[in-house]
């Protein structure tokens, strides 16, 4: 089992499991596919403290959405199931609880903004009714109270003319406004944990920034903990405290964003940081990480990153590196050669 490093010093509580709102330990998720079972989440561990924002990064297919679905108890059935590990929310191991109990947490405790906003919205119902439904179902509000609450929420997420637009249908909203509607639904019941899965991917750059600012503002206002899933570190660097970098369903590196950014310990993190415009300076050509993400049906032996890794040695091909503490409080990396990577060797 992987263990996170013991926290030390100020601000270390973010990685202290005892104070965590969400603690995921050694999570494994399996999917049945035509080509046989795959394990897109394979021993993933992380924590989220109350009020903290964790950025979860990784290439397409690394298991970010599947992890979020597992935490929310929303894995597609019967193909997907959790085959190992623990998901502890506020001291309760969700995997040992009946589905009905986990369902009751969704909305008032944990809420999610899904990767595709259209999945969360029904095209044939007015947005006000869809937002208001949260209050009717969970708070027993009347139709009228629910509509008033929906207008109030729409204002909070920055939708102009909310009192009029409450009667519009989803297709009458722009992509950015639709994302605001979805966010309004997610925060309606004042959840303590919000998981936002690629909340800005489908939007253009200026709207991306507006949505990120909105999420950061709401996070402050409500004191929510937030998990921001993204493959674009540039988008979340200003709003997240810590990051979890996922590769092939495992943690490659975790730590404070600034520290990982300045001195990565995992070669995958180093490659990712080098490809960021802010780090690469004014160069037009960025340095992508060579090679392709691994095939989950035929994972490489040892460290799954070794075929793409400039640091790979025989040990990396033979032995899977555990997530282990490296320089600095709350930092950990799953690399046999993390110390050399830290030294920029
Ligand atoms: N319902 C499913 N059935 C079978 N395989 C699935 C299912 N959902 C996801 N997977 C597989 O699990 C792996 C991880 O998928 P996931 O959606 O978590 O990736 P991701 O990190 O969110 O990628 P992206 O950045 O593209 O959203 C992928 O290989 C995907 O094909
Ligand atoms: Mg995804």
Report pLDDT for 27: 98
Q: Quick check: 166 and 143 in contact, CB under 8 A?
A: no
Report pLDDT for 278: 56
Report pLDDT for 116: 78
| Element of type H or E holding 232 | none
Q: Quick check: 153 and 131 in contact, CB under 8 A?
A: yes
Which residue, by CA, sits nearest to atom 17 of ligand 1? Answer: 65
Locate the domains of the chain by residue range. 25-240, 270-278+286-342
**pLDDT per residue over 297-329, tens digit each?**
889 999 999 999 999 999 999 999 999 999 878
Q: Quick check: 68 and 229 in contact, CB under 8 A?
A: yes
**Could you give the CA distance from residue 91 to residue 21 in angstroms, rounded to a whole number?**
8
What are the residue ranges in the chain where pLDDT is below 50? 1-15, 279-285
Q: Which ligand is nearest to the CA of 70?
A: 1
CA of 69 to the centre of ligand 2 (A): 10
**pLDDT per residue over 139-193, tens digit each?**
999 999 999 999 999 999 999 999 999 999 999 999 889 999 999 999 999 999 9
Pocket lined around ligand 1, Cβ cut-off 6 Å: 31, 33, 40, 58, 60-66, 76, 79-80, 115, 231, 296
Report pLDDT for 287: 58
**Could you give the CA distance from residue 32 to residue 78 in angstroms, rounded to a whole number?**
8
Report pLDDT for 235: 79
CA of 61 to the centre of ligand 1 (A): 5
Computed over every residue of the chain, the mean pLDDT equals: 88
DSSP one-letter code for 259: H
Sheet holding 53-57, edge to edge: 110-113, 193-197, 225-230, 53-57, 242-247, 250-256, 332-333, 324-325
Give the Å distances, CA to CA, from 302 to 59, 98, 305, 331.
Answer: 19, 36, 9, 22
DSSP 99-155: HHHHHHHBTTTEEEE-SSHHHHS-TTS-HHHHHHHHHHHHH---HHHHHHHHHHHHH
Tokens matching residue 41? 């989440």
Report pLDDT for 10: 36
Strand, helix or coil for residue 176: helix
Using a 10 angstrom Cβ sphere, with 0-12 exposed, 13-18 middle and 19 or more buried, the burial of residue 283 is exposed
Report pLDDT for 225: 96
In 10 A of CB 70, how many CB atoms? Answer: 25
Which residue, by CA, sits nearest to atom 25 of ligand 1? Answer: 60
User: Is it true that domain 25-240 has CATH number 2.60.40.420?
Assistant: no
Report pLDDT for 4: 40
Report pLDDT for 1: 38
Report pLDDT for 237: 83
């Amino acid at each position: 089992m992987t263990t996170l490093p013991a926290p030390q010093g100020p601000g270390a509580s973010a990685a202290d499991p005892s104070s965590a709102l969400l603690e995921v330990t050694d999570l494994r998720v399996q999917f049945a596919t035509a080509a046989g079972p795959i394990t897109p989440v394979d021993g993933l561990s992380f924590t989220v403290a109350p009020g903290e924002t964790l950025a979860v990064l990784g290439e397409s297919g690394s298991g970010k959405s599947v992890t979020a679905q597992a935490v929310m108890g929303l894995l597609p059935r019967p193909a997907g199931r959790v085959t190992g590990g623990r998901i502890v929310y506020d001291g309760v191991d969700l995997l040992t609880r009946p589905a009905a109990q986990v369902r009751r947490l969704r909305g008032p405790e944990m809420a999610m903004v899904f990767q595709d906003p259209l999945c969360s919205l029904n095209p044939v119902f007015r947005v006000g009714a869809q937002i208001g439904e949260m209050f009717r179902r969970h708070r027993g509000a009347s139709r009228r109270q629910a509509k008033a609450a929906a207008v109030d929420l729409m204002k909070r997420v920055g939708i102009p003319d909310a009192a009029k637009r409450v009667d519009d249908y989803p297709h009458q909203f722009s992509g950015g406004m639709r994302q605001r509607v979805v966010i309004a639904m997610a925060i309606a019941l004042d959840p303590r944990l919000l998981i936002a899965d690629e909340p800005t991917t489908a939007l253009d750059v200026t709207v991306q920034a507006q949505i990120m600012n909105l999420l950061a503002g709401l996070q402050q206002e409500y004191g929510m903990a937030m998990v921001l899933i993204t493959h674009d570190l540039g988008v979340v660097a200003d709003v997240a405290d810590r990051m979890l970098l996922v590769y092939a369903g495992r943690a490659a590196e975790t730590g404070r964003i600034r520290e990982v950014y300045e001195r990565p310990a995992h070669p995958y993190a180093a490659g990712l940081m080098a490809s960021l415009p802010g780090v690469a300076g004014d160069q037009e050509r960025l340095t992508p990480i060579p090679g392709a993400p691994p095939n989950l049906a035929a994972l490489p032996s040892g460290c799954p990153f070794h075929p793409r890794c400039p640091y790979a040695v025989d040990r990396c091909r033979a032995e899977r590196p555990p997530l282990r503490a490296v320089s600095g409080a709350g930092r950990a990396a799953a690399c046999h050669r993390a110390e050399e990577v830290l030294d920029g060797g």
